[in-house]
Amino acid sequence: MQIIETKEAFKALIENIKMNTPNYKDPLAFGICKVVLDKTDANKTPKVTYLIVNSNENFASGAIFIKALSEQEVEVDFNESEVVCDITASFLKSCLNAYNPHCDEAYGDSHKNIQTILTLYKQHLDFGSLDGIYRVVFIFKDAPLKSVEASLLKLSIDKAVKIQS
């Protein structure tokens, strides 16, 4: 994505993504997780830790993530119940270009998705490739989930709802 300069241009980008992405729909939930695979046993369930979880909120970030993936020729199938994709440096850079007008406000409790992307990009700059370590996960349907990542995203949301009740 090109660098977005103003908040108005950011809003226009979100509308453009939603209108021009075939079959686009907002995810029920999405998040970014770190995945640690067992180096001694490839069949073992990976350890998954969520950095950020969004449930029926922050749809602009969901749209930005989907657009960033499409720019890497990763198409999100909105008909699936879930979609799990690796995060790359190109994905992070694309997101930051779009988030540009909001980056100065991304601290404390504001703009947690932007804070997460900034942190991962800085980690990439400091330590090199993050490919395969972090994933973005979308849930589009309230249906049985197939992946560990999506199942843990749903569990994280269910747990948060119970705590708030």
State yes or no: pLDDT of 162 exceeds 80: no
Q: Which residues pair with 47 in a beta bridge?
A: 36
CA-atom Rg of the chain in angstroms = 16
Helix (H, G, I), strand (E, B) or coil at 111: coil
Task: List the Cα angle 36/123/132 in 5-degree steps.
Answer: 35
pLDDT tens-digit series, residues 110-148: 999 999 999 999 999 998 877 779 999 999 999 999 999
Average pLDDT over residues 52-69: 97
Q: What pLDDT, on the 0 to 100 scale, is given for residue 158? A: 79
Q: What pLDDT, on the 0 to 100 scale, is given for residue 38? A: 80
CA atoms of 42 and 52, how far apart (whole Å): 26
Q: What pLDDT, on the 0 to 100 scale, is given for residue 33? A: 97
Q: Which residues pair with 55 in a beta bridge?
A: 29
- Here the tokens at position 51 are 């950095």
CA atoms of 22 and 114, how far apart (whole Å): 25
State yes or no: pLDDT of 104 exceeds 50: yes
DSSP state of 157: H
